[in-house]
Chains A and B, each alone.
Chain A
Amino acid sequence: MKTNDVILQTATKIVLFVIVLFSVYIFFAGHYTPGGGFVGGLLTAGAIILLLLAFDMKTVAKILPFNYMNMTALGLLIAIGTGAGALLFNKPFLTHAFTYAHVPVLGKLSLHTAAIFDLGVFLVVVGVTMTIIQTIGEDE
């Protein structure tokens, strides 16, 4: 049966950007306010799942050509890398460092290596969630 999904697809095209923007916000807000890599990753995965609901898997694979297992591996590598980076400076494993940088446009920024660790968490959560959903979803 060929159904007409134009309302769902149009709504998805607009709402998707709101969800992705909010997930990026949640990811960066994690240090000072509720949020962080886990919730941000789940929100991004939710946005991709909305795309999967409105379109089919082949279309989504064409739009976002990611291998989600590699994304999980990359996230774990980033998390280990930020932990092991402390060993180069003669500090214990997973010691984080931060600094305040003055960037011309953005002003005073607090740059923390924990944000890079959070990026690893983000990638692992997106990768694992999408791997689970896509593995369940494909029945070929």
Chain B
Amino acid sequence: MNGIADFFIIVFILLGAFLSLVAAYGVIRLPDVYTRNHAASKAATLGVMSVLLGSLIFFYVKDGYFNSRVLLGIVFIFMTSPVAGHLISRAAYNSGVKLWGQSVQDDLKSAPHMKKTASKDH
């Protein structure tokens, strides 16, 4: 195992762990469900992808074993995690969860298909 590979493995894994920590702080400190979801679905996705990339390089360099399942996992998380965030946010909006008090813009409120459901629910 050479030094350049070591460097990249360490950088990727520490960066991934740091981004996951940032995501956790974001979930704790941000004010409403949409901003929390934003932090969780973005930072955690990149954090997990970068940890997986680090482990992929580690096993490729150390054992010469290219684990295609990890590559598939990276692609899978990249595809599904934002969709999950979108669905959670939309479910929260459709069930009437309020935005943060200091929010200034809510474009979805004036959307034609939202108006109908809002008048039906409230």
Contacts and interface: CB of A to CB of B under 8 A. Distances in A.
Interface residues of A, number: 12
Interface of B: 69, 72, 75-76, 79-80, 83, 86-87, 94, 113, 116-117, 120
20 contacts: A1-B116, A1-B117, A3-B94, A4-B113, A7-B83, A7-B86, A7-B87, A8-B83, A11-B79, A11-B80, A11-B83, A14-B79, A15-B76, A15-B80, A18-B72, A18-B75, A18-B76, A22-B69, A22-B72, A25-B69
Question: Which secondary structure characterizes the binding site on chain B?
Answer: helix
Interface of A: 1-4, 7-8, 11, 14-15, 18, 22, 25
A18 B80 CA distance: 11
A42 to B, nearest CB: 17
B79 A15 contact: yes
The 8 closest A-B pairs by CB, nearest first: A11-B83, A1-B117, A18-B76, A7-B86, A15-B80, A15-B79, A7-B83, A8-B87
A22 B86 CA distance: 25
A22 B68 CA distance: 11
A18 B68 CA distance: 12
